[in-house]
Amino acid sequence: MNAPAPAIETELGDLLEGRRSDPATAATIDAADVVRLVDRQGLGSPAALALLALPIATRMARPPISEYRVGVVGIDDAGDLVLGANVEVFGADLGSTIHAEGFASLRARSRGRMLRLLALTEARPCAHCRQTLAESAGADELLLIDPGGSRRRLDDVYPWAFRPGALGIDPDDPRRPAWPGLTTGAGDLAPAIRDALLGAARRAHAPYSRCPSAVVLRLADGRLLAAGCVESVSFNPTITAMQAALVELVAVGATGGEVEAAWLGVVRGGPVDPVPGATALLGAVTPGVDLAVVDLQLVGGRR
C-alpha cells in the first residue's frame, strides 16, 4: 500500500531541510533518495514522486505582490529532484519576477545539468516560461506532466518555438563552460570571491550580447552564492545574473537581510550594461548593501 501523501511530503521535507544549507544541494533531492522513496512507497516512477512534491515547492514561493504561489518540481539528467517556485521582489519592477519554471531550470544549470521532466500543477507553462525553457539544449526532450495525468513534450505546448538555432546560435548547455578564457585583473578580490565570480561567469549563457556577467552574494554566515546570466534568443525573457543569484538565495532559504556583500562581474564596452539593473534590484532586495562592480576580460572568446 502506498503511504499517504502527507507522510511522503514530511519525508521529502526532511530531506530538503538537510540539504538546504549547502548552495550546491539546496532545493534538490538526490537521485539515490528518489529511487529509495519510489521503491519503498511503491510509487512506480520518479515522476509520481515529483508530483507529490509539488506542495512543498509551492511553499517555497515568495510572491509579496501577487500573493499567487507557483511551485514546480523537475527531474534533471542525473535523476535528482529540483524544486522551483516563483519569486517577486517588492519595490522592484515586475520584470524582475522569476517564474517557477525558470527557477527550477536555473537550479539545474547551476549544477551543470538540464531538466528532463517538469511537474506542474497544470502542464501549461506561460508563454514567458515556454520561451525560457526553449533556450536549453534539453528542450527537445523535456516532458511536462501534471496531477491530472497530462504528459506533453515542450514541443506540444510550444510547437513553433523560436530557438537559438534561428540566429545560428547553439542552445544553452551548462555541462561545460561557454567562456573558459574569461578572467579578471582585479587584484583586491579575495580568492574565494574571485573563483566564485569567474566560475559563474564562465558558465553564463550570453551568446547574443557576448557580455557574460555573474553575481556573487556573500551571506552573513560566510556562504557564497554565485550565478551567471542566461540570455534568451528573444532577448526578453533573459534572466540577469542578479535574478539568477536571487534564485540561489531563495533556494538556501535565506532572505535579503542576510546578504552582507555583493559583487557583479561584467565585460565592459559591449552592447549591454547589467550594472544599472543589478544595482536597482539589489537595492530592492537588501537596502544598504553596495554592489561592487568587477571588470571581466575575454581571452580567447567562447568555447
Q: What is the dihedral of CA 48, 23, 106, 295, to 10 degrees?
A: -170
Radius of gyration of the chain (CA): 19
In whole angstroms, give the CA distance from residue 133 to residue 154: 8
Cell matching residue 121: 500543477
Active site residue 141: no
Among the listed residues 101, 135, 231, 248, the single catalytic one is: 101
User: Which residues, including other chains, have CB under 8 Å from residue 223's CB and lie 6 or more apart?
Assistant: 21, 23, 252
Query: Could you identify the residue written with the cell 517538469?
Result: 118
The DSSP output letter for 9 is H
The interaxial angle of helices 127-134 and 100-110, nearest 10 deg, is: 20
Report DSSP letters for 25-83, one per residue: TTTEE-HHHHHHHHHHHT-SSHHHHHHHTHHHHHHT-B-TTT----EEEEEETTS-EEE
The DSSP output letter for 240 is P
User: Which residues, including other chains, have CB under 8 Å from residue 25's CB and lie 6 or more apart?
Assistant: 19
Contact 107, 251 (CB under 8 A): yes
| Nearest in space to 264 (alpha carbons), one of 221, 201, 209 | 201
Contact 209, 272 (CB under 8 A): yes
Which residues are designated catalytic?
A: 101
